[in-house]
Structure 1
Amino acid sequence: MAGSTRGPNDPRRRERILDAALDVVAEHGAIKVTYRRIAEAAGVPLGSLTYYFDDMQDLLTSAFTRLADTVSSRYGALLDAARTPEEAREAVVEIISGKVWGTDRNLLLSYELYAFAARHPEVREVMRSWMRASRESLARHFDPLTARALDALVEGFSIHNSVDTRPTDRAEVAAIVDAIADRRVSGTGGNTG
């Protein structure tokens, strides 16, 4: 095909399509994504989408996986850098209060991923993988139950703080993280201090 930019002449085309798909999801919502909108946003011929992806489900799953991997790597890096229990707690506070999402767009995209996964069971594995990665990062510093609680706290505060007229400030978040991290559940089901 004369003039084609497929293949070695355009090695980032697949990644551009994925980035464009996320842009379209952020602008219109996953439910209103079309091949045409993605192709236009990526600046590629419409046929490129079906060349790289089996169907829209495959394309969106790949795009959401890219999002999850991006955010998970930031999340994991903060926890990997922690060398003490105090640094691990501070990393959790930074994940909640800082910019681990990178942009408000990525947080919005995470909402879209939750909704899309709820309606498309085959995409739930992207969410499960993301949750596993988050909990594994937390489990380097916290017991499994605490890691699970902190992971839920991260998700909940991220959502609440993005829409609350008075987001929970860093000091309040730190106090809550400390309260959760200080709890120990005994083998008999009771709490110990």
Structure 2
Amino acid sequence: MAAPGKQTEKGERRRALLVAAAAELLAEGGFDAIRHRAVAERAGVPLAATTYYFSSLEDLVCAGLDRLGNEKLAYVRGCLDMRDDPAEIVLDLMLGPRSRTEGLGAVLRRFERLIGSGHRPFLAGLLRAQRVEFDGLLDEALTRTAGRRPRPGEVRRVTALVDGMVLTALIEAEQDPRGVAREALREAIGK
């Protein structure tokens, strides 16, 4: 939680720096990378700022995960507006845009975050809210791809298909799990 009372402009900047730093560390190293000292160093603020602006490390993790999710959703909305390749939009939404450039490492980190979140019940509400936005955006992407609204359960089936193909590719030591998922997705949606 933020410190009580009205935030100053400097306080708002510091808090934003801490949230951005937590999101970056989460994307780069997963939940274990988020520590008070690491976040403060990345943000370039005193260590005490982490406990002044956030009541716990859990609050800081939530704020970082929220920002990371919002950044991904904003990126994908921009791709939809630019009419980017529908399969790539779906993969960006599901695997994150970093998987385009960082490949296997970004995909592995995303799945580690998903699995790791199951051990952090304090993230459940945030993840449910993100899921609603995620499903809405995936519905829009599939609508643009197929020229029709997805049938009931289709969004979840596409999610299961991509996640399943990526996990299978990871198990089989495939170096391009995004490519494997792309092929299966294009076959499934007919693009």
Whether these two folds match at TM > 0.5 is yes
Aligned to 1:48: 49
The number of residues matched between the two structures is: 169
Aligned partner of 1:151 among 141, 155, 159: 159
Aligned to 1:31: 32
**Closer/same/farther in 2, CA of residues 54 and 133 from structure 1, 3 Å limit:** same
Shift of 1:66: 0.5
Structure 2 residue 86 is matched with structure 1 residue 91: yes
CA RMSD of aligned residues (A): 3.5
What secondary structure does 1:44 align onto?
coil
One-letter identity of the residue aligned with 1:173: R
Shift of 1:23: 3.4
One-letter identity of the residue aligned with 1:136: G
Shift of 1:144: 3.2
**Closer/same/farther in 2, CA of residues 68 and 15 from structure 1, 3 Å limit:** same
Structure 2 residue 182 is matched with structure 1 residue 173: yes
Larger Rg: 1
Aligned to 1:185: none
Q: Which moved more, 1:47-56 or 1:59-68?
A: 47-56
How much identity, in percent, do the aligned residues show?
23
Is the CA contact 1:18–1:63 (under 8 Å) kept in the aligned structure 2?
yes
One-letter identity of the residue aligned with 1:164: E
Return the alpha-carbon distance in structure 1 between the equivalents of residues 151 and 82 of structure 2.
Answer: 18
Return the alpha-carbon distance in structure 2 between the equivalents of residues 24 and 138 of structure 1.
Answer: 26
**Closer/same/farther in 2, CA of residues 130 and 153 from structure 1, 3 Å limit:** farther
- Compute the TM-score of the two structures, normalised by the length of structure 2: 0.67
Aligned to 2:133: 133
Structure 2 residue 125 is matched with structure 1 residue 101: no
- Compute the TM-score of the two structures, normalised by the length of structure 1: 0.67
Return the alpha-carbon distance in structure 2 between the equivalents of residues 11 and 168 of structure 1.
Answer: 37
Is the CA contact 1:35–1:49 (under 8 Å) kept in the aligned structure 2?
yes
